[in-house]
Structure 1
Amino acid sequence: MSLEVKDPSTTEKTKRFERQDSLFGDAEKVSNITGHGSKENWTQVLHLAFQSIGVIYGDVGTSPLYVYSSTFPNGIKNNDDLLGVLSLILYTLILIPMIKYVFIVLYADDNGDGGTFALYSLISRYSKIRLIPNQQVEDSMVSNYSMESPSSPLKRAQWLKEKLESSKAAKIGLFTITILGTSMVMGDGTLTPAISVLSAVSGIREKVPSLTETQVVWVSVPILFMLFSVQRFGTDKVGNSFAPIISVWFVLIAGIGVYNIMVYEIGILRAFNPMYILEYFRRNGKEAWVSLGGAILCVTGTEGMYADLGHFNITAIQISFTGVLFPSVALCYMGQAAYLRQFPENVADTFFRSIPAPLFWPTFIIAIFSAIIASQAMLSGAFAILSKALSLGCFPRVRVIHTSKHHEGQVYIPEVNFLMGLASVIITITFRTTTEIGNAYGICVITVFSITTHLTTIVMLLVWKKNIIFILLFYVVFSSIEWIYLSSILSKFIQGGYLPFCFALVLMALMVTWHYVHVMKYWYELDHIVPINKVTALLEKHNVGRIPGMGLLYSELVQGIPPVFLRLVQKIPSVHSVFLFMSIKHLPIPHVAPAERFLFRQVGPREHRMFRCVARYGYGDTLEDSGEFARFLTDRLKVFIEDESVFPKDKPENEDTNSITGVSGGQTRPRQSARSVVHSEEVIEPRMSNHAGNNSTYSLHTIEEEKQLIDAEMARGVVYLMGSTNVIAGPKSSVIKRVVVNYVYAFLRRNLAEGHRVLSIPNDQLLKVGITYEI
């Protein structure tokens, strides 16, 4: 908002405001909201640390059930190999989950939220890499953006920003690896229950050797069914229930580990010397390289820890990992290695054979529960990541249920939970053993690790602007480790490794299809917007009447009148007394403060009472129900009308669609600081005299009448209007495009939740307007 103050001594020159384009004025009203978890005290932090034990560490904590058997599928040929593998496991735990994730990557949070899409959205706030051109100047003024000036003194950050923004290939590449990472996390969430539950249940064969492999599988299936059934209760309740169980598990495995070290070989502690890793590779060559695919399973669930960051916070995860997880798991692996030094023939079932006899049944029962809990981390992470993908238009509309009033990141997606549960049961019945599932599992894990490394490196360059030596050290060390592991696990592609790739390809195809049509539909509407003068001319026709009530026409456009409006007026030549062009916009941040939720703009002359409104949400925000949304919208609209009274009445608003960042040729005017606007409003009264023939503003009486009219029309009823858009490929489209748009997208649209259900709009207040777009 800019201010022009003329000489107060001249009666003919009055003080007046001038509005900038791009819904600028209201965007200056920001509050000092901070990120997720910023107000947590130490009591809450410790409580979250305890909860995190039960939610995000079950997967890493139960990996001792199957790591040694997966690493030595053909038995142990040399006892010294155990020292090499144990050293490999210990340093993998130290380097990847502890140093990389807990003390580096967790800080690459998006206002408290983690995961692949959080990294993508964080990058998109500092560089315009999103494929939909709906970025606006005022969005970066929302308090949770926490974005510094783009004019960085570090030239490489500015250079990278320009390269990303100017390269379509870079934008598509970043989007592709992001959805690949998301697909792999989903695959991880499907495979984790299968391998964890099968490993735990198989332990009963130590006491009941007559139990067949098929019977073990059918015992596992009802446990999996129970696991996916409890997800609807939410992370908060599940975490409180599971944390005591998994805590007992960690105490047990640590205690058993210490017992085995003391009884069998205390010298196993020599494995902290990394030279044993080099000797292991020198002694075994290619076989050692192939065995890396089993060793990497010791860090399964690490990406879930990062994805679940929004459920907890950094400090809580750091406390629980370093204080509970790492010591317990490390002692367990050392104890198993000490046992195997004496009984190498038992490597196929190391965990249960190394348990002291009196502790077998308690440990077995806790192992079953822990296997169930192990799946919780990846399921919670998968739900969190998909909710972000959904908000950014990268996933078909599904119902997202927020399961906690205190922690916004805790979500549950029923349809996804059902499909993942079904897939997990099918995999368990089909593969039957943990060996082939482990091969598939490792590929999921290491692919997501590599994607996170690359995206975090971009964050370091673009956002953190760290020293280049630190960035190179981070990238070279971790990408090298991950590529070595990935090369090993790919050697088992035929033995089950193909499974996550098939799963990822299907999911990626679904996400790419949805996002592609979503982007093309947006561009179609942008190219066919209705000029405001045409809207004004329509309303002045005698055959277009104004009917009582408030109408809200939903559109993807953040500016401009969508073509569906003309369709509406042609079919029903009437418009509600108060009419708003509504856009629900999701910013690439977790949360938008309620005071910053709505941006308004007058459309055409004031007497028409037509407004443009953009409702902005972060990907962690919950959409209000229709009644609460309408009330909140009305209150903010009245505030806008009062503020709007200081602008010239005789100068109709004319939205400039080119003010949308990303539209060809678009220019945006430089914005003023919020402080200057506040100061200006202190100097000039909202009410201005009409002397000297100036009719530039409303009187206070007129303002009150307008506000009362808004209330009255709202009381008469709110009608929600939505375009029932049928998208088809244009006549000159390729065969692939026709298949994708006319069949795949149409199938998804028919069988998934409709827009009004996602927005919680009652059917008796909904009016759909049919329209077809050829893209």
Structure 2
Amino acid sequence: MTTDISLRHLNNSDLGFAVLVWQSIGVVYGDIGTSPLYVYSSTFTSNPSREDLLGVLSLIIWTLTLMVSAKYVLIVLAADDRGGGGIFALYSLLCRYANITDGDRKSARIVSMRCQNTDLRPANREFRRILEDSPFIHVIFKGLAVVGVCLMIADGVLTPAQSVLGAIQGLRHVRPDISSSVIVGVSCAVLVLLFLVQHWGTTKVGVCFAPVVVLWLLLNLVFGIYNLAVHDHTVLKAFSPYFAGQYFVRNKTEGWMSLGGVLLAFTGVEAMYANLGAFSRRAIRISWLCFAYPCLLVAYIGQAAYISENPSAYSNPFFNSTPPRLFWVAFIVSILAAAVASQALITGTFQLISQVMSQSYFPKVKLVHTSAMFYGQVYIPLANWLLMIGTILVTVIFNNTNRLGRAYGACVVLVTFITTCMVSVVAIIIWRIHPAIVLVGFLIFGSLDGLYLTSALTKVPDGAWFTLMLTCLLSILLFVWRYGKEQQWRAEMSNRVSLGQLVTVDDEGKLFLSPGAGEGGGELTEIKGVGIFFDKDGDMSPAIFTQFLRKFKARHELIIFFHLHPLPKPEVEADEKYKITATDVPNCYQVHVRHGFNEHVMTQNLKQLIHERLRRFIIGGDGMPNDPLDEHDEMTRQKLDAVDKANREGVVYIIGKEQLKPNPKTNFVRRLALGAFIWLRQLSRSKVAEMDFQLDDVFEVGTFTQI
């Protein structure tokens, strides 16, 4: 099992864990928690018979039990990637245990965490071999991961509209003549306010929203108990799966098609997994099993008890079954809960975009870590505003929950089916469960997914086409970006040379450009000061250094190859932060800096920190970086003197500005994809935007690469 890094700092704190459980309620269960507003109205089209009501209630009970509690809470949440969740985390986890993707050189150098052959049963080992040897399967898994992420992002556009509209439509209970334009206008205003508070961060939003979700679920619990006591308590017999089976036998095709409404009872379960990185497996399990799950079961059962005696109440089940004189309390809380309901998908979308960016499937955009403790709690401004615009457009276009439910039901169940497929592979390769046992589980959960999926796909002409179209557009974006990055890595790799192949040193310590590395070779002119070359890959000679030597036939007095290693933790201890090594070239060093997500390394005092650490390295770590020169041996004094002299002359940061161009020999489709990648790359966040340096200290060297 992997380590839940995001909670490492709170594992020993009961108070911290309690706060985390509280936050998870406020963020994770808003979506699935507001489904009682519209499940029955989306399932039935006319007053239901008592037998059909019991059948649908039985389906809801067993769907929440099997799809949410058994599959997601007990099984899927265990498949985390360094504490993170979501479909792309599943794909990333598989890529670390099986060779199923081509990555950049940085990824290739990471120590493989895959099981040794001796640790796997022969059947599991053979399964992994088939997986690794088939390029077609590699493409399938990459496609599933990308499509799954895009479905979640599309879900993030539709869910806020569905939840808020479902609450605002409650006004029709007291004002049946209220116009759709008023409902849509109020819904849009609530949505704008919701997106405006996202910059507060997951912690603050979760703490503020948790009381609303808790109050909402408790209201559903109380209303459910009330309706059971006052109306038809015999609906409890729906706990028997017999009634679910009889529902299909009695209604046949119509019963199967009505599953498109029943599946709305578990919309939001995919967000539960996507938000794993912001909270923890244990916090989500406890909050679901001990609180959210019982409240929702009682809510649906209570609504069924009321509808059993008042069949027409199915059209607005929550508000029609509200106890007397409590309507306005329920209405106000439902609006607040509906706004919160959107939070699960919004936060999950930020998580997913963060993951695909880190895996080079999405252009670099501004990402803000909003928590001092949790790596997964992030805010992405661009994604937030695009989601807001998309959600408002969807609200205006669809304008009621029935149409929206048809639009995004297919999205949710497609995500759950992809998750089932990928977790099954994780169970075989990583958890080392026998394939035969995994196959049994896959058939059970895959059949449930397939039943709901086929029903949801019948809604494509009625609105689900929008979700699928948006998913296709987003998938094309991710595929194009990844394809371009892979071609860029291959082109850069062909131009990489070692430092020994690039320069030679004579007996007097003078540097020469090797004849094979540049036109004619020749001695390198010395430039006073320190040149800090940003090393993207951390091995061999930085590409920007190679280009600098070839263009200018010159080198700095002191050369630093600077490489950053981001880690998924808030801060890195001082004694673990820096790693410095000397190269074979005089006065040339490699400096590796490991940093956490709360540490901003690229600041104006970076040159001073490098100078101090370099002196400490030359001294040997026993002395202080400001020790006098006369306290050391002759060689150490010479090295320290060279470092101090170069630092006094000035420091310049040298970064590359790489220009890419498609190879004219490639076919039209590839040139089109590469042209789109280059255009997106020009729009994405630049390296300079992340640096807090004096502009006079930065020098960009242009390079040209054909891909």
Q: Normalised by the size of structure 2, how large is the TM-score?
A: 0.90
Contact residue 54 and residue 243 of structure 2 kept, 8 A:
yes
Aligned residues: 680
Contact 1:126 1:150 in 2 (8 A): no
| C-alpha distance in structure 2 between counterparts of 1:714 and 1:496, whole Å | 65
Aligned to 1:253: 220
Equivalent in 26, 38, 50 of residue 54 of structure 1: 26
The yes-or-no answer on 1:63 pairing with 2:42 is: no
Asked if residue 35 in structure 1 is aligned to residue 2 in structure 2, the reply is: no
* Cα offset, 1:624, TM superposition: 3.4
Aligned to 2:659: 726
Q: Deviations over 1:92-137 (max 9, x none)?
A: 1111111111111111112322112221221122123331252678
Equivalent in the alignment of 1:90: 61
In structure 2, the partner of 1:134 is 105
Q: Where do 1:395-544 residues align within 5 Å? A: 395-537=362-504, 539-540=511-512, 541-544=522-525
- 2:349 is matched with 382
Determine helix, strand or coil for the equivalent of 2:463: helix
- Distance between the aligned counterparts of 1:700 and 1:472, measured in 2? 69
Corresponding position of 2:517: none
Give the secondary structure class of the aligned counterpart of 1:318. Answer: helix
State how far apart, in whole Å, the 2-side matches of 1:300 and 1:199 are: 14
Q: Does 1:392 align with 2:359?
A: yes
In the alignment, which of 672, 678, 690 is matched to residue 739 of structure 1? 672
Q: 1:281 to 1:448 in 2, by over 3 A?
A: same
Matches for 1:633-652 after TM superposition, within 5 Å: none
Question: Is 1:239 matched with 2:206?
Answer: yes
Q: Is the 8 A contact 2:3 2:83 kept in 1?
A: no
How far is 1:304 from its partner?
1.1
Residue 752 and residue 137 in structure 1: after superposition, are their counterparts in 2 closer, same or farther (change >3 A)? Answer: closer
Cα distance in 1 for partners of 2:399, 2:648 equals 62
With over 3 angstroms needed to count, the CA separation of the structure-2 counterparts of 1:216 and 1:465, relative to structure 1, is same
Tell me by how many angstroms 1:722 deviates.
2.3
Query: Paired residue for 2:539?
Result: 559
> Where do residues 351-366 of structure 1 align in structure 2 (5 Å cutoff)?
351-366=318-333
Aligned partners of 1:158 and 1:706: how far apart in 2? 53
Report if the CA contact (8 A) 2:201-2:379 is conserved. yes
- State the SS of the aligned residue for 2:584: coil
Q: Is the 8 A contact 2:595 2:601 kept in 1?
A: no
Query: 2:311 maps to what in 1?
Result: 344
Distance 1:635 1:88 in 2: 67
Contact 2:535–2:542 (CA under 8 A) maintained in structure 1: no
Task: For residue 60 of structure 1, report the CA deviation from its aligned partner.
Answer: 0.8
Displacement of 1:339 in angstroms is: 1.2
What is the CA deviation profile of residues 522-572 of structure 1, one whole-angstrom value per residue up to 9, with x for unaligned ones?
1111111134334214943445223302412343x3433354434323444
Instruction: Give the distance between the partners of 2:100 and 2:621, measured in 1 at CA.
Output: 34
The answer as to 2:692 corresponding to 1:774 is: no
Looking at structure 1, the residues matched to 570 and 295 of structure 2 have their Cα atoms a distance apart, in angstroms, of 36
Tell me the secondary structure at the aligned position of residue 175 of structure 2.
coil
Corresponding residue SS for 1:110: coil
Please name the residue that 2:560 is paired with. 580
Deviation by residue 1:450-494 (Cα, 9 ceiling, x = unmatched): 111111111111111023343223211111110111110001101
Distance 1:171 1:621 in 2: 35
CA contact (8 A) 1:111 1:590 kept: no
* Corresponding position of 1:187: 154
Cα distance in 1 for partners of 2:614, 2:117 equals 32
C-alpha change, 1:114 and 1:288, in structure 2 (3 Å) is: same
Indicate conservation of the 8 Å contact 1:397/1:755, yes or no: no
* 8 Å Cα contact 2:532-2:562 kept in structure 1: no
Q: 1:297/1:211 Cα in 2 relative to 1: closer, same or farther (>3 Å)? A: same
Residue in 1 that maps onto 2:588: 609
For structure 2, the residue ranges without an aligned partner over 5 or more in a row are 506-510, 513-521, 623-631
* Residue among 91, 110, 123 paired with 1:120: 91
C-alpha RMSD of matched pairs (Å):
2.8
| Residues 550 and 714 in structure 1, CA contact (< 8 A), matched pair in contact too | no
Q: Provide, for residues 634-690 of structure 1, a one-character-per-residue CA deviation record: whole Å limited to 9, x for no partner.
A: 666567657799xxxxxxxxxxxxxxxxxxxxxxxxxxxxxxxxxxxxxxxxxxxxx
C-alpha deviation, 1:83, in angstroms = 0.5
Which of 152, 155, 165 aligns to 1:198? It is 165
Partners of 1:471 and 1:189 in 2: how far apart? 31
Work out which of the residue numbers 274, 282, 288 in structure 2 matches 1:321: 288
Deviations 1:144-174 (A, max 9, x none): x6x6545424223433443333333333322
Residue 271 (structure 1) aligned with residue 238 (structure 2) = yes
The answer to whether residue 541 in structure 2 is matched with residue 546 in structure 1 is no
**Equivalents in 1 of 2:326, 2:644: separation in Å?**
70
Q: Which residue identity is paired with 1:729?
A: P
Find the aligned partners of 2:427 and 2:250 in 1 and give their Cα distance: 39
8 Å CA contact 1:398–1:758 kept in 2: the answer is: no
Q: What secondary structure, in the 3-state scheme, does the structure 2 residue paired with 1:545 have? A: strand
The amino acid of 1:56's aligned partner reads V
Most deviating of 165-174 and 713-722: 713-722
- 2:406 is paired with a residue of what secondary structure? helix
CA shift, 1:585, in A, is: 6.0
Instruction: Specify whether residues 87 and 51 from structure 1 end up closer, same or farther in structure 2 by C-alpha distance, changes over 3 A only.
Output: same
The answer as to whether partners of 1:58 and 1:375 remain within 8 angstroms in 2 is yes
C-alpha distance 453-553 of structure 1, shift in aligned 2 (>3 A): same
Q: Deviations over 1:680-726 (max 9, x none)?
A: xxxxxxxxxxxxxxxxxxx9663465467556656765433222222
Is the deviation greater in 432-441 or in 60-69? 432-441
Q: Which residue of 1 aligns with 2:625?
A: none
Quote the Cα distance in structure 2 between the aligned partners of 1:583 and 1:278. Answer: 61
What amino acid is aligned across from residue 18 of structure 2 in structure 1?
L
Where 1:276 maps in the other structure, the secondary structure is helix
Three-state SS of the structure 2 residue aligned to 1:453 is: helix
Structure 1 CA distance for aligned equivalents of residues 605 and 271 of structure 2: 34
Q: Distance in 2 between matches of 1:597 and 1:159?
A: 41
Alpha-carbon distance in structure 1 between the residues aligned to 2:414 and 2:190: 28
CA displacement at 1:138 relative to structure 2: 6.5
Kindly provide the CA deviation profile for residues 427-456 of structure 1, in whole angstroms up to 9, marking residues without a partner as x: 001111112211121111111111111111
Q: Paired residue for 2:78?
A: 107
CA–CA separation in structure 2 for the residues paired with 1:61 and 1:571? 62
Instruction: Find out whether 1:755 has 2:682 as its counterpart.
Output: no
Contact kept, 8 Å, 1:544 with 1:569, in 2: the verdict is no
Deviation at 1:184, TM superposition (A): 0.9
The residue type equivalent to 2:32 in the other structure is V
CA distance in 1, matches of 2:559, 2:117: 37
What residue in structure 2 maps to residue 22 of structure 1?
Answer: none
Distance 1:452 1:33, change over 3 A: closer
Give the Cα–Cα distance (whole angstroms) in 2 for the partners of residues 572 and 385 of structure 1.
43
Q: Report Cα offsets for 1:164-200 as digits up to 9, x if no partner.
A: 3333333332222111111111111111100000010
Q: 1:370 aligns with which of 337, 361, 371?
A: 337
- Describe the shift of the 1:550–1:531 C-alpha distance in structure 2 as closer, same or farther (beyond 3 A): closer
